[in-house]
Amino acid sequence: MIIVTGGSGFIGSAFVWKLNSEGIDDVLIVDELGRAEKWKNLVGRTFIDYIHKDEFIDILCNNKFRNVSAIIHMGACSSTTELDADYLMNNNYRYTMTLAKWAIERNVRFIYASSAATYGDGSLGFSDDESIVKKLRPLNIYGYSKHIFDVWAIRNRVIDKISGIKFFNVFGPNEYHKEDMVSIVYRAFHQIIKTGKVFLFKSQREEYNDGEQMRDFIYIKDCVDVIWWLLQNNNVNGIFNLGTGRARTWNDIIGATFSAMGYEAKIEYIDMPESLGDRYQYFTEAKMEKIHNKGCIFDFRSLEESVYDYIGNYLLKKNSFL
């Protein structure tokens, strides 16, 4: 049995889709559905059971699970604007630590989601070399709650027994429920439908023109291929970046969105909220050599190809699901 936490969320449900496409349905979904509509991500998926995340941790700690081959831990609060630090530390750090300990003690494959938010302002670069992890300074409590588990795993010398993934800017089907945390493609698509234009934050740094802030955007389908590879190669452990390795501008991704929709690009630049000013990343770009050197080499889709697939095969067809 494969346990997928956050199994109804964006990346988790996409990975369940990947498992099903590989003929695997011995899957346990762990999540907290609440009042969001992410339950729709489970429609059409095949799995053996769903358990609420709080009930799951109690059952797990009482050792009531048998024949578990892997835990794919994608469950977390992923809001970069969440301010409840206690909640994030319990939900993102301690929960992950409990799962990791359980898996390590039983030699169960454990793959967990870290984040590019751990890199902070990028002044130390974006290398996933574990020797620099302790030096990183995240800009928000979400990034810190992810970072502190990475530090724990290294300090306790278990990082060579588990795999962590530092996801960069992921977009694609199954993200619709993320509210303020949906990708720029999803947000732009709906802005264009409603207003015919897209709103982007002005730059507050002289070295970046408006809309020229850069991110490493990666498509969800490429992400689940890498997670699948890590699941198949259970001797590959450590912390790994997951991006395309090529930063692109906001203007690039918005231009691709307009093009995929058949519209002329119209962008309006607006002031950035003061609350984001000191927590805003102007540049991210995954260094991918580490996982490539382990043999994980994929020909990732280009930004334009990814946007065209997402919009043409999903959003324009009023279908938000894999």
Q: How many domains is the chain built from? A: 1
User: 181 with 80: CB under 8 angstroms?
Assistant: yes
**Is residue 319 included in any domain, yes or no?**
no
Catalogue the active-site residues. 142, 178
pTM of the model: 0.96
Measured between alpha carbons, how far is residue 218 from residues 6, 77, 225 in Å? 19, 20, 12
Mean pLDDT across the stretch 19-37? 94
**Is residue 151 included in any domain, yes or no?**
yes
Residue 265 tokens read as: 């690009």
Q: pLDDT digit string (tens) for 38-74?
A: 999 999 999 999 999 999 999 998 988 889 999 999 9
pLDDT attached to residue 65: 87
Query: Percent of the chain having pLDDT more than 70?
Result: 100
Residue 36 pLDDT > 90, yes or no?
A: no
Q: How far apart are CA 90 and CA 135, in angstroms?
A: 23
**Is residue 139 included in any domain, yes or no?**
yes
Q: How far apart are CA 204 and CA 87, in angstroms?
A: 31
User: 82 with 134: CB under 8 angstroms?
Assistant: no
Residue 277 pLDDT > 80, yes or no?
A: no
Q: Token match 């870290």: residue?
A: 114
pLDDT attached to residue 279: 75
**Is residue 315 included in any domain, yes or no?**
no
**Is residue 60 included in any domain, yes or no?**
yes
pLDDT attached to residue 63: 81
**Is residue 313 included in any domain, yes or no?**
no
**Is residue 206 included in any domain, yes or no?**
no
H-run or E-run covering 103: helix 95-105
**Is residue 210 included in any domain, yes or no?**
no
Q: How far apart are CA 248 and CA 246, in angstroms?
A: 7
Give the burial class of 162: count Cβ atoms within 10 A of its Cβ; 0-12 exposed, 13-18 middle, 19 or more buried: buried
The sign of the dihedral angle between the CA atoms of 93, 94, 99, 101 is positive
pLDDT attached to residue 34: 87
CATH code for position 156: 3.40.50.720
Q: Domain span at residue 75?
A: 2-171+218-246+284-300
